[in-house]
């Protein structure tokens, strides 16, 4: 079945540092890819998405590019803020496989210190 | 309502008891999903509904788990004869139709003691 692997955390960065969280996927066909974020005490929120190869999703200064050749969807941000502290989940959705379930990675906890 | 609402937010139950977890989706959303998130893991799919019918229940771990959505809106996840291994956060999500963005609730934290 489909799977998503993302770098293990926790990740601790100083404010204004560059962030990369790696994510790779395995799937039959061409899934849609997502990054979700879970802020402390809140529910999962969609951060960004990409539905086909070479698409770039972006939101709130975060970006991720769908790379079919490396089956990757790495999350990046040029300058993190304390308010970015959260758990980030990479996910795939392979509707072409006949189902509408999201497959999530294990999550990466990010802590940004002033 | 403004978002997906799940009740209760926390539930502690004794091993062997029966529990019901409720999900109120966003008004007008026809698709509803249940996921389970164990400590240190990402959410795992359980079941989704399109309208009143369970379109895919392949993620339910065993026959102790059951979910209903009788009127195509509110859904209830039911767990019989709870076990300590059922302890997790149960997440509900809804979307306007299938293949559109799913919005998640804050979850119900179930603890089986």
Tens digits of per-residue pLDDT, A61-80? 999 999 999 999 999 999 99
SS3 of chain A: CCEEEECCCCEEEECCCCEEECEEEECCCCCEEEEEEECCCCCEEEEEEECCCCCEEEECCEEEECECCCCECCEEECCCCHHHCEEEEEEEECHHHCCCCEEECCCEEEEEEC
CB < 8 Å to B42, chain A: 4, 89, 91, 104-107
| Residue B1: predicted pLDDT | 52
| For chain B, counts of helices (H) and of strands (E) | 0, 11
Kindly indicate the confidence band of residue B40, based on its pLDDT and cuts at 50, 70 and 90: confident
CB < 8 Å to B43, chain A: 44, 89, 102, 104
Q: Which two tokens stand for residue A28?
A: 């039959």
φ, ψ of residue A95 to 5 degrees: the values are: -65, -20
Contact assignment for A104 to B55 by CB distance below 8 Å: no
| Residue A41: predicted pLDDT | 85
Is there a contact between A33 and A25 (Cβ–Cβ < 8 Å)?
yes
Kindly indicate the confidence band of residue A106, based on its pLDDT and cuts at 50, 70 and 90: very high
DSSP H stretches of helix in chain B: none
Mean pLDDT of chain A: 93
Rg (CA), chain A: 14
The C-alpha atoms of residue A51 and residue A55 are separated, in whole angstroms, by 7
**What residue of A is the nearest CA neighbor of B90?**
A43
**Average pLDDT score over residue span A1-5:** 90
Kindly indicate the confidence band of residue A97, based on its pLDDT and cuts at 50, 70 and 90: low
Q: Which two tokens stand for residue B32?
A: 């509803």
- Please give the residue that has the higher pLDDT: either B23 or A1: B23
């Amino acid at each position: 079945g489909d799977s998503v692997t993302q770098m293990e955390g926790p990740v601790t960065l100083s404010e204004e540092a560059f962030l990369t969280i790696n994510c790779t996927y395995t799937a039959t066909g061409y899934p849609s890819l997502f990054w979700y974020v879970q802020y402390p005490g809140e529910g999962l929120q969609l951060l960004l998405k990409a539905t086909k190869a070479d698409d770039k999703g972006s939101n709130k200064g975060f970006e991720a590019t769908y790379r079919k050749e490396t089956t990757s969807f790495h999350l990046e941000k040029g300058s993190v803020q304390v308010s970015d502290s959260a758990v980030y989940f990479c996910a795939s959705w392979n509707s072409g496989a006949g189902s509408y379930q999201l497959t999530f990675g294990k999550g990466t906890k990010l802590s940004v210190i002033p | 309502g403004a978002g997906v609402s799940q009740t209760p937010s926390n539930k502690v139950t004794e091993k062997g008891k029966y529990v019901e977890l409720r999900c109120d989706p966003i008004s007008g959303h026809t698709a509803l999903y249940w996921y389970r998130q164990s400590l240190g893991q990402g959410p795992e799919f359980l079941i989704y509904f399109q309208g009143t019918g369970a379109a895919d229940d392949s993620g339910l771990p065993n026959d102790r788990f059951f979910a209903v959505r009788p009127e195509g809106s509110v859904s209830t996840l039911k767990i019989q004869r709870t076990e300590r291994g059922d302890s997790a956060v149960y997440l509900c999500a809804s979307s306007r139709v299938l293949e559109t963005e799913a919005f998640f609730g804050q979850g119900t934290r179930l603890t089986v003691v």
